Structure 1
Amino acid sequence: MVASAMCNLPPDHRPYTDKYFLRSRLILEREGLNPLVTMQVFFRDGPGVFAGGAEAAAILNAYSPLAGHGGTVRILPEGAPFAPLEPVLHIEGPLKDFIELETLYLGVMSAATSLANGQPEPTPEGVAAKARAIRAAVPDRHLMYFGARHWHFAAEEAFCRAAVSAGFDSCATDAGARAAGRPSGVGTIPHALVLAFAGKLGKEQATREATLAFDRHIEPDCPRVALVDTFNHEVDDALDTARALGSRLSAVRLDTAGELVGQGGVPDDGRPYLTGRGVTVAGTLAVRQALDAAGFSEVGIVLSSGFGNLEKIKAFVAAEKQYGRRLFSSLGIGGLYKSWSATADIVRVDGRDLAKNGRHYRPNPRLKDIW
């Protein structure tokens, strides 16, 4: 499937783009925001050999005015070795020029690099089997398929159909959602949008103001879900945003980086998924308790990052029984199959180092200029 689709790009990238990037592009336009940013891409897996760079560059060339606007793309050569966390791609330019393309270029690099390093190609049958197991573990929560960035766009419709047929409720891309019988993709705010506001207003205001901008410009029937982990102030930013939006805030989303202990969480004490780094039971409980104490018990919690791991889901379900309270209302899950998944982060904004906590700019002299 991947080989036959190489550089056979769709006429329009937007159906294969995670919905929150499409919405973010609209918000940036209406807010008059277009910072000059550096985007950095790496793999957690490895060491290995890199693949998919040529198609990623073709995507940027086909759909972005970046080259004409003085932007630069530097990428690791095809077949070059790389280490975990080593940057394989740097993109510099106006954010609006390429914010909609992250899903596609990550997907083609993830698929090609996975195959180049011996990972099997995932199948719709395998996706459905994993989705059924997850649905059985959480029969009463909203499940969103967030896996478009983890594999080539050519597989998106088939994987979304498989996930929804096995019990998932929604998908992040319009193409996948429609193939699965849903009206459109779902998704609200990515870290990129929060960082764009941070570049203008500072970290303390960015989460709140990005959510307020979403509320101003996005259709009223789209739930207002604030992403509150960008600066590792999960509790503070959840409360700040809840106070600003009041009853309009549907939920907050936790996607704490795997390098960090969430605010209010507990350092690793030997209890997997309950304590430690990333999205954990302890960190989620801290946000839930803070919202409840401040009078925001109706604000839900959306969890993402690592919930393709069935054992992690079971740990949260067991914790809910222990504490006698619901910790989350929905899950965003990309990992319905094994892949070496590329990750992208803004690491500089308007010439200043600025990134989500736990990430930072890493130079790599082995990257080669594409333009």
Structure 2
Amino acid sequence: MKEIELKMQGEIKRLTNKTFKFDERIREGWFSAVYFLKTKEIVQEFFPDNIVTMQFFQKQNAVLCGTDEVIALIKTFAANPDELEISSLKDGDKISPFETVMTITGRYQDFGFLEGVIDGILSRRTSVATNVYNVVKAAALTGVQKPVIFMGDRDDHFTQQAGDGYAAYIGGATAQATHAMNEWWGKEGIGTMPHALIQLFNGDIVAACEAYIQKYPEDDLIALVDYNNDAITDALKAARAFGDTLRGVRVDTSRTMIDKYFVRNQHLLGTFDPRGVNAELIYALRKALDDEGFNHVQIVVSGGFTEERITRFEQGNVPVDMYGVGSSLLKISVSFTGDNVLLNGNHQAKEGRRYRPNPRLEKVE
């Protein structure tokens, strides 16, 4: 957890607008709610010199992300950006309910139309970072931090990968599935084999692994062993064939399937849910590998894992070495709100809202 803690202390540099590939239509208000655009026009005519302070907050304990992106957005698309005063927390900071994470002070018509876009950036990035952080924390319940791989490429539109991958990095994910997910922080995607590779070798896990290491001899070999719905049998086949070369096995059994191990051992059934990647299957897999001397082979699990499910596995000391997690990390669990709270330096805000100074905010130069 040390790396995450360093991020929480703000010991990383801000990203700049060189990183983000903004859509130029933002400048024209294409992504802004129409009432913001109308307000901009009205203010320009009736109150062109008024100065407002807009502050942003949310209502949970969370891990903040998206501030660098928002600051770059303002610097790129606001009118007269050098005349705006921005104060902000940093990506990776832990935040509390209703804590002010950013304030922007200046003429409303210069930046107000970006309010909804800013809310959306902060909401999505903070949601992903917080979801990942909670999963990473769950994967360390035994006192040993088990790696979490962010595998969300198939669960959302591809255009979200770079930002989601960065947010997952801020939250503590060890690795990402695609190159795009790593784009903003300078790494590359990782991964070994999908089910499609095994299918192309007629379901032969050994043949698929042999081709893989011939093509990518520098990679760690991790065999996907649930293709034939017989994870233990295929894991042993791979281990016997490749010995020390086999770094690990990944189990990705569908939640609608029961592994053939339980069909052969029906006396084990009746006290647990045997579908998908379950604890009993992983206990049995670990024992089968160890009994044949393959103690070095690690076990990676994926397929529908959530914070709650990982917590149950860790509390049960299920012998998992690494978790692959996807869709549960992309749920929007944090929603930000922007409010105008000061008008020309004096309190003026929607009833129930007020200016909340935060000594943790840093002025953005």
- TM-score with structure 2 length normalisation? 0.53
> Could you tell me which of 326, 330, 333 is aligned with 1:337?
330
Asked whether 1:250 is paired with 2:251, we answer: no
Give the structure 1 partner of residue 301 of structure 2.
303
Give the structure 1 partner of residue 319 of structure 2.
327
Give the structure 2 partner of residue 190 of structure 1.
194
What does 1:13-52 correspond to in 2, within 5 Å?
Answer: none
> Could you tell me which of 291, 310, 313 is aligned with 1:313?
310
Matches of 2:271 and 2:231 in 1, distance apart? Answer: 23
RMSD: 2.2
Give the structure 2 partner of residue 133 of structure 1.
134
Deviation of 1:310 after TM superposition, in Å, equals 1.5
Deviation of 1:155 after TM superposition, in Å, equals 0.7
Matches of 2:133 and 2:287 in 1, distance apart? Answer: 31
Give the structure 2 partner of residue 212 of structure 1.
210
Give the structure 1 partner of residue 43 of structure 2.
none
**DSSP 3-state at the match of 2:182:** helix
Deviation of 1:125 after TM superposition, in Å, equals 1.1
Asked whether 1:276 is paired with 2:274, we answer: yes
Deviation of 1:219 after TM superposition, in Å, equals 3.9
Native 8 Å contact 2:148 2:175 kept in 1: yes
Native 8 Å contact 2:230 2:260 kept in 1: yes
**DSSP 3-state at the match of 1:173:** coil
Deviation of 1:262 after TM superposition, in Å, equals 2.1
Deviation of 1:122 after TM superposition, in Å, equals 7.5
Deviation of 1:261 after TM superposition, in Å, equals 1.4
Matches of 1:142 and 1:262 in 2, distance apart? Answer: 25
Native 8 Å contact 2:303 2:325 kept in 1: yes
Task: From the superposition, tell whether residues 130 and 268 of structure 1 become closer, same or farther in structure 2 (CA, over 3 Å).
Answer: farther
**DSSP 3-state at the match of 1:303:** strand
Give the structure 1 partner of residue 155 of structure 2.
150
Amino acid in structure 2 at the alignment position of 1:285: Y
Native 8 Å contact 1:122 1:337 kept in 2: no
Deviation of 1:249 after TM superposition, in Å, equals 0.3
Deviation of 1:268 after TM superposition, in Å, equals 6.8
- TM-score with structure 1 length normalisation? 0.52
Native 8 Å contact 1:142 1:330 kept in 2: yes
Give the structure 1 partner of residue 59 of structure 2.
none
Matches of 2:326 and 2:279 in 1, distance apart? Answer: 19
- What 5-or-longer segments of structure 1 have no aligned partner? 6-120, 321-325, 340-371
Native 8 Å contact 2:136 2:147 kept in 1: no
4+ residue runs over 6 A deviation: none
- What 5-or-longer segments of structure 2 have no aligned partner? 1-22, 25-121, 333-365
Give the structure 1 partner of residue 235 of structure 2.
238
**DSSP 3-state at the match of 1:314:** helix
Matches of 1:123 and 1:187 in 2, distance apart? Answer: 25
Matches of 1:218 and 1:166 in 2, distance apart? Answer: 30
Matches of 1:316 and 1:161 in 2, distance apart? Answer: 27
Deviation of 1:174 after TM superposition, in Å, equals 0.8
